[in-house]
Structure 1
């Protein structure tokens, strides 16, 4: 009985660790965050300001016109 309880507990711990890793990977897929900007012209200072206000991170102009890419924390 004691060994089966120990085996079950070990399996539970391993499952929790693996699921936490999978959740962290899923969150990284949403990076970088895109923020729309007015007009098609992008200035790096605008992106830095918008990303800092909305997400508390740094940002840069996206390759796609009219968007800033904000880094993830």
Structure 2
């Protein structure tokens, strides 16, 4: 599930940041994201996956890969 969730999060990050070349290891904020974009991304992730994303988690785990792992741990 973590790999699939990571792919879904990455797809959202790419849309929100308008960066189709972003990888799962790229930092959301270093790639141009800010707090407003993080709120948008969290809402889209929730809408597409049904997984609630606490905004603070995006700052602690700023890559798609790290965030997916953290969210999987929270829901386990």
TM-score using structure 2 length: 0.25
Structure number having the greater strand percentage: 1
Larger radius of gyration: 1
Structure number with the bigger relative contact order (C-alpha 8 A, sep ≥ 6) is 2
Structure number having the greater helix percentage: 2
